[in-house]
Amino acid sequence: MSTQPRNKEFVLAPLSIDLIFKVLNVTFLHPFVAWMVPLCMRAQAMPWSHRAIQIAIFYASSLTALFFLNILNKQIAFSKPRNVSFSEEVIVITGGASGLGLLIAEVYGMRGATVAVLDVKDLESGEARGVTAYKCDVGDVEQLRKVAIEIERDVCS
């Protein structure tokens, strides 16, 4: 029988700050659970004027306000997506002469967007519908300026 010391890290490995906050958010920091405390106090015939029940109500009210403010924040941040007319959009894709970049350029080109592909190589497929290729090294600021002017001239005309 071998007696090897137990590795204490193994026992605590699944424990993380994220897990702790997740558990707290569905227990002590959830409004539904917080409202159970003053309701239980009242069920034991504790008067509304008692200090403990007032603190419990304040805590539950605060959590409820934060809960609804969080929902409102998510609604504002991730509200309904805007309708995009691809015919009015100009999409610039760097490194789009081949591979995934070319595929993305072709998809948006087929949807009616004006697509400008910036790459040091020529388009792999030769031509793609709605896609214009510009030879440009995106690491060179001067080349980028020239191509930006060229794209503006081509799109506006």
Rama region for 113: left / alpha / beta (φ>0; ψ in -120 to 50; rest): beta
Q: Could you read off the pLDDT tens digit of each residue along the chain, which spans 157 residues?
A: 556 655 556 677 778 899 999 999 899 899 999 999 999 999 999 999 999 999 999 999 999 999 999 999 999 888 887 787 888 888 999 988 888 888 898 899 888 888 999 999 888 777 777 788 898 898 999 999 999 999 999 887 6
Distance of CA 6 to the CA centre of its chain: 41
Give pLDDT, residue 6. Answer: 59
Rounded Cα distance between 145 and 99, Å, is: 25
Give pLDDT, residue 157. Answer: 67
Half-sphere exposure of 100 (CA within 13 A, CB side): 0
Give the residue among 128, 145, 144 at the shortest CA–CA distance from 136: 144
